[in-house]
Structure 1
């Protein structure tokens, strides 16, 4: 049996499936095409709904939040200058001693920030990428501290100039050349008052300067040693051949050398002034 040209078995199966789904199968129209079930047909002129959810066109993009412009970092203040050319004092002396430790300075320490110290600071700064100002500022000082050790008394006063110790009690009366081996200084004192202080150098281990109380017995402005044939200008003799006098070697080499027992002075202007004031018979005290 055939219905509209289709096998009866196919139609029967279709009818059975439709019955199970609760649908009524429409017979084909005259044109032979199948139509949707009546309850699923759309009214005439209507447009079918899309099966998926379409992206809406022209969707507004999320608004970007403007990022704040990074604030410019405030300019760092220039490092504080601690010492510069023309300054003097114990801080400058320590600076010079530390510069000597790292071989940027070979003279001194003198305690005065001179042209040699300025050049040494410039060299140290340039080697480490710091501004070559020649002034000792806090940044340069911290770098130098990190590379050196605290200088001892010997390093600080290699060229003299250390503070004089308390005067010996024997120096407190009259006119006295008070010579201190511990601080390596000579005080010129009158009635307990210190008039002037200069750095001095003494004899070596084998030719030591004698200690005790003496007096000036001879002054010789242009003296030359008869034993060593070396000049001893502004000599003031107090014990045998030992005298207080100017030493060019002390001025040049500092404490790297020593005398043959005399008390050497390295400041020529100071010894010249002292020579003019000291009289024959004035007391000389050499002590530790």
Structure 2
């Protein structure tokens, strides 16, 4: 059964892809617990606690700190519940050991918030690299072609951007690097990056409700999604849907919220959901890197996913709040 819908505070999070916890570390690597860690206290070991909670997918934060806040306490409670411990929200020896079994020893880079996480969107998506190149050009760091190729000039520009915002030079555009870039540059329009709409050679048998107006037409049985404009199919692509037990509703809906830089935090980790089009409470159409990487070996927590960044960007610009989504 799907979890109850969250309200406005959850809009920017959405339902995203599940992930599997890291394998258990060698117990020898566990730092001894110096003292019980509790709400509102400040300690360097709280930083390690937060890194480990993030590794174990209980705490969806980018950076960690010395302060034991409410979000950390709730993450500890969830860990304790899963481990069969009393859910006090305070970290005693038993809780620390349970967390150690689900995490590994943090690196200094993780503790200092200078670690290099995964790419926000993988660099094998030409559409994403083109947007990245456009933004780096706006920042005055890239002068090459907008061609979607992660060439040496683009890599150098990424490293230069990281240095500009106070991070170690690296060629990885992780979330802590990408978010400041999108905040300080404008989002390029599809037509600034591409000469034509996405081509399409797939077919989809449409539901009759998809033939009037602008409609995102989603067939779970066919595992496809089409954008239809007054009966004309503009593109059809493969789509991926919910894992067993997380199915969302079928029916006719309306887009009620759009956000091109959504990041899910509901399930204990940060999962980018670019070009999210929310149509049924927290359920959205969006680009999924997990779908691009794993295909149908994975699944969502209710969302309808695309695995082509260029297609998701184009679709996002074609629709508006109030347009129809049909799921059948």
Establish whether TM, by shorter chain, passes 0.5: no
Answer with 1 or 2: which has the greater Rg: 1
Q: Which has the higher contact order (CA 8 A, sep 6+)?
A: 2
**Higher helix proportion, which one?**
2
Normalization by structure 1: what TM-score? 0.43
Q: Under a length normalisation based on structure 2, what TM-score does the superposition of the two structures give? A: 0.38
